[in-house]
Structure 1
């Protein structure tokens, strides 16, 4: 295992850079926080796991060369990015509709955890900019004397693990504020705000540049 890690000076630089990137809010963090605020800490933590698995898939894709395809084929990049954006907008619209049909006396409804996991996984996996980000970020810390693909897989997994820890902190903090949205009026407002965030994030994904975001 240690043979797949760069020398300590380079590895320490990787850890510091990864931590700085992990704590910086991005689309993944926004998804986790929104889930935690609207549906509680449990859903937020499940969304952390789902986003982590999606990001791990992107890291592995970068390691086996999928990022190279995105780099040379703007069409492939656009297709995957558009699919992810459409899915985000779909989630936002569904959240809007949920807020409009909820009766004033209804109790808060928590989405099934399996559904929350699936949605978060798809949102993270259908972000080709994350794959390109890993392809640009990880090679800076590779040791030329070790197998490049295995090395990048290990570093990518470490980055995803660090991001999952910081995302969990965001989920727990947002979950503490979730009870304020348990009132019927506040909950409907929270669903509408969350839906607006998802729709906005989907639109942002379409119009944003090629710089990778987590």
Structure 2
């Protein structure tokens, strides 16, 4: 019985993916900020949003993402810039909330966007690391002599599985700190930190364009 993927290639892919998943980048930086601001449930909802975007990227890969990027590079650059600006705006909101609460320390700090899933989706859909992964990292692991759909399904399973573990760990780590958010001074400090993390994520996105 012939397997859907080459076992040796798949094992190598798992190693590469593990390193990429745990490396700090826009998605993991966002997970920390999201966990701090929203707690455990919000952190996990953000992970759902980011991996929904990853599914979109896998769908695009199935349709020939590499060819689309070559044919329409400006469209993908625009998506990344728009996403970076959105993440930067979330960071600005966090900083503005910290300043606003300075006069009234009992006022809760500003939240991120209205929906953790949407925020997570926007971060990952605009992440140049995702474009690099699907256009440069993934193709060498695909066997042209085997059906593409089963291969992509197994690669998606591994990618999303590892990302869920890594993003959740970062997010829940941030959520653990959120328990101290009832302290006004600590809350203001983390509003500044949240803003810094989000703006750092935006800079990371732009620096990879």
Q: TM-score range by the shorter chain?
A: 0.7 to 0.9
Q: Offset of 1:129 from its aligned partner?
A: 4.3
Contact 1:134 1:156 in 2 (8 A): no
Contact 1:50 1:117 in 2 (8 A): yes
Query: Aligned residue for 1:170?
Result: 170
Query: Aligned residue for 1:106?
Result: 107
Query: Aligned residue for 2:54?
Result: 55
Gaps of 5+ in 2: none
Contact 1:52 1:161 in 2 (8 A): no
Residue by residue over 1:147-193, the C-alpha shift from the partner in whole angstroms, topping out at 9 and shown as x without a partner, is 22542243134212211112112222232222234311111111122
Q: Where do 4+ consecutive residues of structure 1 move more than 6 Å?
A: 108-112
Contact 1:138 1:152 in 2 (8 A): no
TM-score, with normalisation over the residues of structure 1?
0.84
Query: Aligned residue for 1:14?
Result: 13
Query: Aligned residue for 1:200?
Result: 200
Gaps of 5+ in 1: none
1:137-176 alignment runs, 5 A limit: 137-176=137-176
Mean CA deviation greater in 26-35 or 62-71 = 62-71
Mean CA deviation greater in 137-146 or 103-112 = 103-112
Q: Alpha carbons of 1:63 and 1:182: their partners in 2 closer, same or farther (altered >3 Å)?
A: farther
Mapped partners of 1:164, 1:59: distance in 2 = 16
Number of aligned positions between the proteins: 206
TM-score, with normalisation over the residues of structure 2?
0.85
Query: Aligned residue for 2:42?
Result: 43
Contact 2:90 2:198 in 1 (8 A): yes
Q: Offset of 1:108 from its aligned partner?
A: 6.2
Contact 1:28 1:124 in 2 (8 A): yes
Q: Alpha carbons of 1:108 and 1:80: their partners in 2 closer, same or farther (altered >3 Å)?
A: closer
Mean CA deviation greater in 49-58 or 153-162 = 153-162
Q: CA RMSD of the aligned region, Å? A: 2.4
Mapped partners of 2:146, 2:11: distance in 1 = 17
Query: Aligned residue for 1:185?
Result: 185
Q: Alpha carbons of 1:68 and 1:150: their partners in 2 closer, same or farther (altered >3 Å)?
A: farther
Mapped partners of 1:132, 1:14: distance in 2 = 15
Mean CA deviation greater in 25-34 or 57-66 = 57-66
Q: Alpha carbons of 1:201 and 1:168: their partners in 2 closer, same or farther (altered >3 Å)?
A: closer
Contact 2:91 2:196 in 1 (8 A): yes
